[in-house]
A and B are shown apart, each in its own frame.
Chain A
Amino acid sequence: MTRPAHVPEDLVVDFDTLGDLKIDEMHARARGWRADKGSVVWTDHNGGYWVVLGAAEFRRGLIETETFNSASRGIKLVDIEDREVLVPIELDGPEHTQYRRVLNPFFAPRRMRVLEEQVRKVARDLLAGIAPKGRCDVVTEYARPLASSMFLSLVDWPLEDREILERLVSLQVNGMPGKSPEENQRIQTDALHELAAYCERQITSRRENPRDDLTTQLINATVDGEPIPDSRLVAGIMPTLVAGGLDTTQSVTSQTIRLFAEDPSRQDYLREDGTRLHGVVEEILRYAAPVGPLRAAIQDTELAGVSIKSGDRLHFMSQLANRDPAEFDDPAELHLDRESNRHLSFGLGPHRCIGAALGRVVLAVAIEEFHLAIPTYHLVHSDSQLGAVWSMRSVIVEWDPDRSPSLTQTA
């Protein structure tokens, strides 16, 4: 594509989020951009957009919705033509508020306390199979099945469909790394259609046999006194919830175990005092944020002294804003005892991640149960990828299955 004329040459960086960059390499690069170019840079890749690295700019971008919105150009880096609006993330204003009010109760903090027991049970079942082996791939054997099972419990879809949904979400969110933008458009379109068809089957089954679950309640919900159209349910709301719930939580859990395996003193820190878990979760969320929101400017403005024109897209990268030295002391280091931690991993403003409380619960239980079941472990191999959701491809760890783990449990 042609770069817009108002983009200064010296702010352009070489960044293809669908390329073969690893998470650590990306952070090293971003440190260089921040030092050399500032808080807002431009990439020509994937349609061309501003990459926002600064925490102050992030705050402004997500709270000033009259300048930066979600609806006008959508939130997908590689877009698909002729698709349903993703709901609620691609709505703004009063319509957005109405959909949030329908969805909010399912994700309310007090409901998470009930779900916590379910997460714990799934985690323990998985770990009972893993612990005696002395080795596992955390991504495929623990983090992914745990995150997916939680989401499937929330919507009450069959647990045995887990792998089908994981594949579709991965394709729909990230496409296939290494493919051309045109190929990825087709891959993502096909995956979204297949996902919508799956959701439609769930809706049909609930119409025939209503149950006390989120799926049935969404069918019965009204917005402006009207039921939500089926097309919006199956291709707008449900794919958004699936995509939000599966890849993100899985990524942060996998990144945690990798960080702890690289430096077992981090395992010791948690094992010494289980009440540290809450602070550990928040610091991990800061350090290992997997995703950041995309917006479009709807009027001309300036951001960190950079001229932004109406219609420009901006990627407000929580992953990078969380490492802004203006906001966080020693940001490139994981400080598990960090006290004040206003990380930006769940976004800010009206589009704050609706699953934040769920994400925190899954992560806390995932980390706690892993250390209750597995003794000191070491990293054998790990591999990561960027994309719309940064994630680990694999995290292989090893431990002595004859040793017993020790963790002072919370409460």
Chain B
Amino acid sequence: MRVTIDSTKCQGHAVCLTHSPETFDFDDVAGKAFVVVADVAPEHEDHVRRAEANCPERAIEIV
């Protein structure tokens, strides 16, 4: 599984950080999340799916 964030859509709700702190981090000044580990380890795939399903801006894409 690979995951990306569309930074033009992300508005920094930070819901993804709660679901998968292994995968996402946060730019404190821009107020936006970004992907740290784009190749998701199998044991984190569920976390990333939940992050995607709960992103208010629909900014997360799983490929």
Which residues from chain A sit less than 8 Å from chain B, CB to CB?
Answer: 63, 100-101, 104-105, 107-111, 278, 282, 339-344, 346, 348-350, 352, 354, 356-357
Given contacts A109-B14, A349-B11, contact A100 B54 (CB under 8 A): no
Contact B28 A350, beta carbon cutoff 8 Å: no
B39 close to chain A: CB less than 8 A: no
1/0 contact string of B46-63 vs chain A (CB within 8 Å): 000010011111100000
- Could you say which residues of chain A place their CB within 8 Å of the CB of B54? 282, 340-342
- Could you say which residues of chain B place their CB within 8 Å of the CB of A63? 57
Contact A104 B30, beta carbon cutoff 8 Å: yes
- Could you say which residues of chain A place their CB within 8 Å of the CB of B56? 342-344, 346, 348, 352
| Contacts A104-B31, A339-B50, A349-B11 known; 12 new A-B pairs at CB < 8 A | A104-B29, A104-B30, A105-B29, A109-B26, A110-B26, A278-B18, A282-B54, A339-B53, A340-B54, A342-B58, A348-B57, A350-B11
- Could you say which residues of chain B place their CB within 8 Å of the CB of A344? 56
Tell me how many residues of B have a C-beta within 8 Å of chain A.
Answer: 18
Provide 9 A-B residue pairs closer than 8 Å at the C-beta atoms, listed in order of the A residue: A101-B31, A108-B26, A109-B14, A109-B26, A111-B28, A346-B56, A348-B56, A348-B57, A357-B14
- Could you say which residues of chain A place their CB within 8 Å of the CB of B55? 342
| In the bound complex, CA of A278 to CA of B56 (Å) | 16
Contact A108 B13, beta carbon cutoff 8 Å: no
| In the bound complex, CA of A357 to CA of B30 (Å) | 15
Contact B12 A352, beta carbon cutoff 8 Å: yes
Given contacts A282-B54, A339-B53, A342-B56, contact A356 B14 (CB under 8 A): yes
> Residue on B with the closest CB to A101?
B29
Contact A109 B17, beta carbon cutoff 8 Å: yes
Which 4 pairs from chain A and chain B are nearest by CB? A108-B28, A104-B31, A340-B53, A352-B11
Contact B13 A101, beta carbon cutoff 8 Å: no
